[in-house]
């Protein structure tokens, strides 16, 4: 059973690009999407179709920033009943929490979480489906832009300084993030694939200008109906785990860590994987080894740096694990490659 995602995402991108003078008709035709297919707020599209059309819209328009730019124009009004619920909450905290609860109505690709630690609030988005890397970055940009836009609408001049941290590498067109003021944006922060937005928790008690408990209850009842319709009984668990393992930096996520993100127990996640022909331990070892080979072959990284990047506790442990997989040491593997590269991986930072 194919996984379906909210089609409103495509509608917003098309609306933005055509307002900028780009005709999206050819990209839609090439993916077989009619404009009527995303006319309604509760319309859905297959994940593969969504990924394909997103790629075409970005490349054909020459706008790799289109997903962030679209998000920056996306306010609660674009989310229908969910947007009405967001605006009817009593405080900004309540508004964020209801967004987390029904976030699959906004994106199936990423999940959203929220926590407060002392005086800091943190919103985090992480992948919930196995998707191509460029689609993951596009989704990160969209939800980041939309959240920033929402904060500016509610807080205005009271928007505090904030930090945005991407686990992923700095993109070539990093200047697009300079629109996020007054913030600092960091890349290559390591860990599980995610983007995190940190800001002062004191603004969470800001009263929503349209707070209305009756409207909130009515909107949430209707949102609940859409939410049930969108939920799918089947999910490609191996593809999601594969994405999380491949895109994690400086550590290898455990089964238990991934289960927390998926909101299931570790035994349940293991059972889901097994039902779809996947063994977590075997998959984790294979992916870790593949990443090590790529770092040694394509990036010319030193053995110690590879061990650290992949989260091994010591270089010796990495060498033993690599030898068990490849029948040779990492150094022997690197010297056996015909065209090794000496360009190191590094992280970047930009300050808008």
Which domains are present in the chain?
A: 4-225 (3.90.1520.10), 237-336 (1.10.10.60)
pLDDT digits 0-9 by tens, 270-325: 988 998 899 999 999 998 898 889 888 877 788 988 888 887 888 999 999 899 88
Question: Span 184-202, mean pLDDT?
Answer: 93
Using the 8-state DSSP alphabet, how is residue 23 labeled?
A: -
Helix H or strand E segment including 122? strand 120-127
Tell me the average pLDDT of the chain. 87
Give me the residue label for tokens 């990495």.
318
Helical pair 255-262 and 266-275, crossing angle rounded to 10 deg: 90
Question: Span 92-115, mean pLDDT?
Answer: 93
Residue 1 has pLDDT above 60, yes or no: no
Nearest to 185 by CA among 199, 197, 173: 197
User: What is the SS3 assignment for 181?
Assistant: coil
Residue 340 — very low, low, confident or very high, per pLDDT cuts 50/70/90?
Answer: very low
Residue 351 has pLDDT above 50, yes or no: no
Nearest to 203 by CA among 121, 146, 125: 121
> Mean pLDDT: which of 38-52, 133-147, 244-258 is highest?
133-147
Whether 111 contacts 264, CB under 8 Å: no
What percent of the chain shows pLDDT beyond 70? 92
pLDDT digits 0-9 by tens, 209-258: 999 999 999 999 888 877 775 655 467 888 888 888 888 776 778 899 88
Question: Span 103-119, mean pLDDT?
Answer: 90
CA 120 to chain centre: 21
pLDDT at 239: 85
Cα separation, 42 vs 219, whole angstroms:
14
Residue 200 has pLDDT above 90, yes or no: yes
pTM (predicted TM-score): 0.76
List of residues 6+ apart from 68 with CB closer than 8 A: 141, 142, 144, 145, 176, 177, 179
């Amino acid at each position: 059973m194919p996984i379906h995602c909210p089609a409103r995402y495509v509608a917003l991108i098309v609306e933005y690009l055509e307002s900028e003078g780009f005709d999206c008709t050819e990209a839609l035709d090439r993916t077989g999407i009619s404009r009527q297919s995303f006319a309604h707020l509760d319309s859905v599209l297959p994940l593969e179709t969504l990924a394909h059309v997103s790629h075409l819209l970005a490349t054909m328009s020459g706008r790799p920033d289109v997903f962030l730019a679209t998000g920056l124009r996306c306010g609660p009004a674009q989310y229908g009943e969910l947007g009405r619920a967001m605006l009817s909450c009593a405080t900004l905290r309540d508004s964020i929490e209801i967004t987390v609860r029904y976030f699959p109505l906004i994106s199936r690709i990423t999940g959203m979480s929220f926590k407060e630690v002392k005086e800091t609030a943190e919103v985090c988005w992480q992948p919930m489906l196995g998707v191509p890397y460029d689609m993951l970055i596009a989704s990160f940009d969209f939800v980041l832009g939309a959240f920033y836009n929402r904060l500016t609408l509610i807080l205005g001049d009271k928007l505090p300084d904030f930090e945005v941290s991407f686990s992923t590498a700095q993109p070539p067109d990093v200047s697009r993030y300079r629109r996020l003021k007054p913030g600092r944006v960091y890349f290559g922060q390591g860990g599980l694939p995610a983007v995190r937005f940190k800001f002062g928790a004191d603004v969470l008690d800001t009263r929503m200008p349209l707070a209305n408990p009756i409207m909130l209850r009515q909107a949430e009842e209707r949102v609940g109906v859409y939410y049930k319709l969108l939920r799918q009984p089947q999910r490609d668990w191996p593809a999601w785990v594969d994405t999380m393992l491949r895109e994690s930096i400086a550590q290898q996520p455990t089964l238990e860590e991934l289960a927390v993100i998926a909101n299931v127990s570790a035994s349940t996640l293991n059972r889901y994987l097994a039902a779809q022909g996947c063994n977590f331990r075997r998959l984790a070892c294979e992916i870790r080894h593949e990443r090590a080979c790529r770092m040694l072959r394509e990036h010319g990284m030193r053995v110690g740096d590879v061990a650290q990047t992949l989260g091994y506790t010591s270089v010796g442990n990495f060498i033993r694990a690599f030898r068990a997989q490849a029948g040779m040491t990492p150094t022997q593997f690197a010297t056996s490659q015909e065209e090794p590269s000496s360009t190191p991986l590094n992280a970047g930072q930009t300050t808008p």
